[in-house]
């Protein structure tokens, strides 16, 4: 289908249809990059006839300047982006698999992007202190009546930092499933009581205390901040 169009250069699969096909199951969607010739990109974004050639499309919308989300009538769902060769080489991606390429396409497209670089903040010290300050500020927002803001700091942002801290300290049993989404596959890689740390919108105080008490035997939590968190939870 793509080969017949003439302006398509290659197709890369990512995520569970990328290099880690072992994760592919009945709940997987299709993540892919369509690599096209200069001048063809907007046509691929504006028109979905190339997708409708596979099966009737039930729903689609532009979710970024580079791509769309689409649902076919058979229930298959996809998120994709369209790039020129120059754009592909300027971006960062990981775990790509070459699904199809035109005969004259350059080699190594699955590895053509800018290498992913670790964040300078990917240290256990930084992540640990982000956790406890998220708890501290979150409890202040809880006391102010900003329960949703408190919930996000205590039961979302602090948990993201916890997952990163666990990765950095070697507690995880395997690598991240997705380098851009620390929460993906967390239950398979980590044995921690998520249900105690994320107890719901009305339980910010208890969730903050549960996380603090779990951390203290495992990390050097600043005692001044720990005491302040306890005081706020009891206020």
**DSSP assignment of 154-220:** IIIIHHHHHHHHHHHTT-SSS--S-TT-TTTTHHHH----HHHH---TT-HHHHHHHHHHHHTTTS-
- Whether 118 maps to a domain, the answer reads no
* Domain final residue pick, 111, 136, 168: 111
**CATH number for the domain harbouring residue 81:** 3.30.460.10
Rounded to whole angstroms, how far apart are CA atoms 84 and 131?
40
Q: 181 with 130, same domain?
A: yes
In the chain, the percentage of residues whose pLDDT exceeds 70 is 98
Q: pLDDT tens, 1-46?
A: 666 777 899 999 998 898 888 888 888 889 999 999 999 999 999 9
In this structure, the strands spanning 77-83 and 97-101 are unpaired
Q: In the chain, how many domains are there? A: 2
pLDDT at 201: 95
Q: pLDDT tens, 191-208?
A: 889 999 999 999 999 999
Q: pLDDT tens, 75-100?
A: 999 999 999 999 999 988 888 999 99
pLDDT at 1: 61
Whether residue 229 contacts residue 216, with contact meaning beta carbons closer than 8 Å, is answered with no
Q: 139 with 176, same domain?
A: yes
pLDDT at 81: 97
> Is the model's pLDDT at 71 over the cut of 70?
yes
> Is the model's pLDDT at 177 over the cut of 70?
yes
pLDDT at 6: 77
Q: 106 with 149, same domain?
A: no
Whether residue 197 contacts residue 104, with contact meaning beta carbons closer than 8 Å, is answered with no
Q: 94 with 14, same domain?
A: yes
Q: pLDDT tens, 107-124?
A: 999 987 777 777 787 899
Which domain range does residue 47 map to? 2-111
pLDDT at 24: 83
- Whether 145 maps to a domain, the answer reads yes
* Domain final residue pick, 78, 111, 144: 111
Q: pLDDT tens, 122-137?
A: 899 999 999 999 999 9
The pTM assigned to this predicted structure is: 0.77
> Is the model's pLDDT at 56 over the cut of 90?
yes
- Whether 117 maps to a domain, the answer reads no
Mean per-residue pLDDT of the chain: 91
* Domain final residue pick, 89, 111, 133: 111
Q: Integer distance in angstroms from the first to the last C-alpha of the chain?
A: 65
Whether residue 99 contacts residue 32, with contact meaning beta carbons closer than 8 Å, is answered with yes
């Amino acid at each position: 289908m793509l080969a017949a169009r003439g302006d398509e250069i290659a197709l890369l699969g990512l995520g569970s249809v990328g290099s880690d096909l072992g994760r592919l199951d009945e709940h997987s969607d299709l993540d892919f990059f369509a690599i096209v010739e200069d001048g063809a990109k907007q046509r691929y974004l504006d028109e979905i006839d190339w997708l409708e050639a596979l099966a009737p499309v039930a729903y689609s919308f532009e979710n970024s300047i580079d791509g769309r989300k689409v649902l076919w009538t058979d229930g298959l769902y996809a998120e994709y982006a369209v790039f020129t060769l120059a754009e592909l080489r300027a971006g960062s991606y990981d775990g790509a698999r070459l699904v199809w390429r035109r005969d004259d396409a350059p080699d190594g497209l699955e590895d053509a992007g800018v290498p992913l670089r670790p964040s300078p903040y990917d240290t256990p010290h930084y992540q640990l202190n982000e956790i406890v300050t998220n708890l501290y500020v979150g409890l202040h927002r809880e006391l102010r009546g900003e329960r949703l803001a408190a919930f996000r700091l205590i039961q979302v942002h602090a948990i993201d930092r916890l997952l990163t801290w666990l990765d950095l300290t070697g507690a995880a049993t395997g690598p991240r499933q997705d380098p851009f989404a620390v929460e993906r596959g967390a239950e398979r890689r980590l044995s921690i009581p998520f249900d105690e740390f994320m107890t719901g919108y009305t339980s910010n105080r208890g969730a903050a205390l549960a996380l603090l008490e779990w951390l203290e035997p495992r990390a050097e939590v600043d005692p001044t901040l720990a005491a302040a968190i306890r005081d706020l939870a009891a206020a």
